[in-house]
Each structure stands twice: as C-alpha cells, then as structure tokens.
Amino acid sequence: MSEVRLLDEAERRDGDRVRGAAEDVARRLPSLIVAAKDVASSVMHGMHGRRRAGVGESFWQFRPFVTGEPATNVDWRRSARDDRLYVREREWEAAHTVWIWIDRSASMSFVSKLALQSKRDRALVLGLAAADLLVRGGERVGLLSLTRPMAMRNIIDRFAETMLTEEAVSDFTPSELPPNNVLQARTQLIWISDFLADRVEIADKISRLSAGGARGHLVMIADPIEETFPFTGHTEFLDVDSSASLRVGRAEAFREDYMLRLAAHREAVREAAAKRGWTVLLHRTDRPASEALLALRMRLEAGTDMQAVRFAG
C-alpha cells in the first residue's frame, strides 16, 4: 500500500503555482491562437510552397482519376460518394521536417509597460504562426519531444492543445532549455527563448542538437526594458526563477556594467550558434510579431535550400 501523507506548505505553494500557471495559459490561449493565425496570414503573401504529390506517409488531397492509370490507384471509398473516380495522393516524401521548441520558463513571463505582450506570449504566437506558415508551404512540423512531425491545416490548434495538456500535469515544470534530442540531418529547429540561461549550457545544447547535422534558428525574445535598463534610484531586482533578490541604492550606477554583460552573453550565444551554422534572430516585444516571423521565414528558406544542395551532392 502506498504511503499517504499531508503536503507541507512549500509543496502546497508549488501545487498552487502550477495550477495557477496552467489556468492562466488556458485563459490566454484562445487569444494567442487568433493572434498566431493573423500573423501567419499577414506573412503568407508571396510564399512559395514546396508541397507536391508523391510517395509519402501523410494524406495530401484527392484528385480525379485519369484514364490510363492503374485501377489500383482508385480510392473506392471516396469515389462511392460521387459519380467520379478519385485517387488519394500522399505528401511528397522530400518535404522537410522542422521542429519547434518554445521556452515557457518563468523568465519568459516577464513583461514591462513598454512591451506589447510578455516574452512567453510573444514566443507562443511566433512558434504557432511559424508552424502554420511552414505547413502551408508544404513542410512537416513537430513540437520537439511533444509531437511527431505533422502537416495539418489545423496545426495551430493542435499544437496549442498539446502544450495546454502538458501544462495541466501537476508536476509540469517548464525548462529553460530543450531536451537532448539529436536531430537528424535534413531537419531544422526553431528554438524560441530569451536565452538568459547559462551561456555554457546553451552552447552545449546547440552542440548536442546539431550533432546529427540539423540546422537551427535561435529566436531571441527580449523585453525593451531589458535592453534599455531605465532604472534609477533605489530599486529592488527579483529573480523570477528563485527567491533571490538584490536591492541597490543607485540603480543607474549598474547600467553600464549590465549592458556590457548582456552584450557579452549574447555574443557568446551567437558564436556558439555560428560554429554549427545556426542563425540568431533578436526580436523585441515592443515590435510587431510579423517582423520576426518574416525574418525567420527567410532564414528557414535559406536553410532548406542549403541543405538541399548539401544532400544533392
């Protein structure tokens, strides 16, 4: 018989925090889904998709049967609904796979009065919109460690439901870093985060994820207040990932050192990405999400073209 005991105060607080976070996500998700669809639609104009018929695993479309084709190509169940014969076409197997990982850790919930939305909400909008854009362009997209690669028209709703289900689990604790999956060649990863984790851990994660030849794109989300450091006078700084705090009498005296350390940290992340041929995109939450999605789309298309040339050789 399993042991039964009462939760202590710290465990109750942790449980309340997890439930509260899940409920908060559930409340915000419908509006984030709408925003993601709007952003994807605004960037979709002029996009050249790669989807085409061929041998593959996923259903693409039904098309009319052409005289001279083998009768075995006919989908009799679909044809029974109409007076015509139809053939079931599947997605071309050369479509690429793109994985998405979105940082939903505590630091991503930060939002200042200068921002349009929190870093986490902007990351979710960008991740979901990118998935929709990629699927419309003929690619398969998956949430790293959560879903298989898919090419579904309702990809935004599917991903949102998956993440909501994950956050509803009582022991769910969002990580600052993606899991140690070794991604295969001919795949790409979109990693969306504020990248405020330890620079050595970030570099190690990039090395592990790219070991199989995958190409990655880091989308660095920043609140404008993190870049301008407008604090003056007596200020208390709180660490959202722990109970640590720092009280200073003249916050403005720390501005120069802070800006230098931030620049050095970002440069270290860029260098780690560049060593593996990965790209880095900095996006501030006081700017439209469509700007970041358009820039990300250009990087994804360039990455796909580079990999196509590499594997053709």
- 72 and 143 together in one domain: no
Residue whose entry in the numeric block shows the structure tokens 């439209």 = 288
Once rounded to an integer, what is the mean pLDDT over residues 239-247?
A: 75
- 181 and 87 together in one domain: no
- 244 and 213 together in one domain: yes
Residue whose entry in the numeric block shows the structure tokens 């709180």 = 238
- 205 and 64 together in one domain: no
Once rounded to an integer, what is the mean pLDDT over residues 62-67?
A: 74
- 61 and 143 together in one domain: no
- 132 and 279 together in one domain: yes
Is residue 303 very low, low, confident or very high in pLDDT (cuts 50, 70, 90)?
Answer: low
Is residue 45 very low, low, confident or very high in pLDDT (cuts 50, 70, 90)?
Answer: low
Once rounded to an integer, what is the mean pLDDT over residues 184-197?
A: 93
**Residue 95 has what pLDDT?**
53
The whole-angstrom separation of Cα 300 and Cα 103 is: 19
Give the residue from 91, 112, 146 where a domain finishes. 91
Give the residue from 36, 70, 91 where a domain finishes. 91
Give the residue from 63, 91, 119 where a domain finishes. 91
| Domain count along the chain | 2
Indicate the pairing of strand 187-193 with strand 97-102: parallel
- 203 and 172 together in one domain: yes
- 207 and 172 together in one domain: yes
Average per-residue pLDDT for the chain: 81
The whole-angstrom separation of Cα 216 and Cα 273 is: 8
- 176 and 74 together in one domain: no
- 145 and 292 together in one domain: yes
Q: Name the residue among 260, 113, 286, 261 with its Cα closest to residue 196.
A: 261
Domain that holds residue 256: 9-44+95-312
Q: How big, in percent rounded to 5, are the helix, strand and coil portions of the chain?
A: 45, 20, 35
pLDDT higher than 70, residue 135:
yes
**Residue 8 has what pLDDT?**
45
Q: Give the pTM.
A: 0.76
Q: Name the residue among 199, 205, 204 with its Cα closest to residue 144.
A: 205
Is residue 165 assigned to a domain? yes
